[in-house]
Structures are given as structure tokens and as C-alpha cells.
Amino acid sequence: MRNRYLIMLSAVICISLSNPVLGQDAYVKRFRPLADSLGQVYGIPANFILSVAVIESGRGKSRNVRLLKNHFGIAGKNNLYRTKKIRTRYKQYKTDTASYVDFCKLVTRRAFYQKLKGNEDVRLWIEAMSKTRYSEKPLLWKKNILSALRQLE
């Protein structure tokens, strides 16, 4: 009986860890209201914000999120070396919200922003962002963001 319980428990843990959609659903549920509100403020589709966040943050499980509250892989200053002796090039935020706001501000500084502002076609935003050197591997980045978007829709 005990062995059966341990096997079942192990199976449940393995399934939950191997299913990225479960993690994504929890992440999206937590940050959807923030993305919706920032989308309204900045004229950026919430699903674009969330798709990028899901991939860049590893569904909220990445080291950058845990240590820096950085959901978008934005480079900048941090005090991680001073506090934990960890070197990283990524920016540190006081809150998750600050990371989301900074990403939206970064998008507003891109050349395509004025042309797309208010446009709800997320694929246009992804295409435009992939051409801005936001990522070091734009084709792979675009593929991953589109995959996350399909799961959101």
C-alpha cells in the first residue's frame, strides 16, 4: 500500500513538473490583470506582454524572476553580487509590477511602437519586436513567443 502511494505521488509530481501548460496557466492567471491594465495604459496588447513574459521568465520560474523580479530578461544594474556574490547582467526590480512597467516603457521607445500602438494584432507586435534586436536569437525568440501566444489564445 505504501509503495503504491509513493508511486502515485511520484507520478503526480513528474506530470506536474513536465507539463509546461500547468505552470503557464498559473503564471498567466497571476499576471493577467497587470498585463491587461498596462495594455490599456500603453496601447500594447496584453497577450503580447504575457507571451513575452511567459517565455522570458520561464513561466515565472527562472532565476531572474526569483532573484531579480525580472520577467523580461532586461539587462541593467543589480546588487546581486553585493548581496549574494552572484554576477549577472540583468536588471533588478523591487517588484514584479516594476518589471512589467519597464518592459512596456522599453516597447514604447521602439521605432515600431507609434505605428502599432492600439493595434490588437499580437502577431504584428511579435514580428516587429523580433526585428529590434531585443533577443540575441530573433528567429528562435519569435517561434517561442508565438508558441506561448497559441497557448494563451
> pTM for the full model?
0.82
Q: Under the phi-then-psi rule, with left for phi > 0, alpha for psi from -120 to 50, and beta for the rest, what region is 105?
A: alpha
Residues 121-130 have pLDDT tens digits of: 999 999 999 9
Q: Which of 134, 66, 63, 71 is nearest to 99 (CA)?
A: 71
Q: What is the pLDDT of residue 13?
A: 46
The domain tally of the chain equals 1
9 inside domain = no
Read off the C-alpha cell for 92. Answer: 533588478
Read off the C-alpha cell for 42. Answer: 500603453
Domain holding 77, by residue range, is 20-152
5 inside domain = no
12 inside domain = no
13 inside domain = no
Q: What is the pLDDT of residue 2?
A: 53
Task: Compute CA distances 31 → 5, 71, 82, 85, 135, whole Å.
Answer: 35, 11, 30, 30, 22
Give the amino acid at 37: S
58 inside domain = yes
Tell me the CATH number at 72: 1.10.530.10
Residues 59-88 have pLDDT tens digits of: 999 999 999 999 999 999 999 888 888 899
Regions of the chain short of the pLDDT cut 70: 1-23
Q: What is the pLDDT of residue 81?
A: 84
86 inside domain = yes
